Amino acid sequence: MRANANAAITAAAGGLALLLGGLLLGLGDLAPLARLALCGAALGGAVAFDLRERRIPNKLVLPAAAGCLALSAWTGVRPVELASPLATSQCWAR
């Protein structure tokens, strides 16, 4: 139970840190701030799992990616703009 509490604390700290960073940079719109908070929470949770178990579970990564995709679609980002970084990352993976 304590490990889950640590993961929740680091996730909250990561989300808060990136949210505050976005506010300090002057990102006033809701969607970019929500994306930053979601990304920070996912990174914070990933750190906790990685340090403890040496792995990052898909239960954490996939919902965070889906949430960021939904927030990007809500702000009007076209799917082509999301696909090109994915294709580039696949080229570098080889």
Per-residue pLDDT of the chain (94 residues; tens, 9 = 90+): 576 788 889 999 999 998 999 999 988 788 889 988 998 999 999 988 888 888 888 888 888 888 888 888 888 887 777 777 666 655 655 5
What are the backbone angles phi and psi of residue 56, rounded to the nearest 5°?
-120, 115
d(CA 24, CA 41) in angstroms, rounded, equals: 18
Task: Select from 13, 10, 18, 15 the least CA-distant residue to 48.
Answer: 10
Residue 50, pLDDT score: 87
Residue 7, pLDDT score: 83
Task: Select from 88, 86, 53, 55 the least CA-distant residue to 68.
Answer: 86
Residue 15, pLDDT score: 92
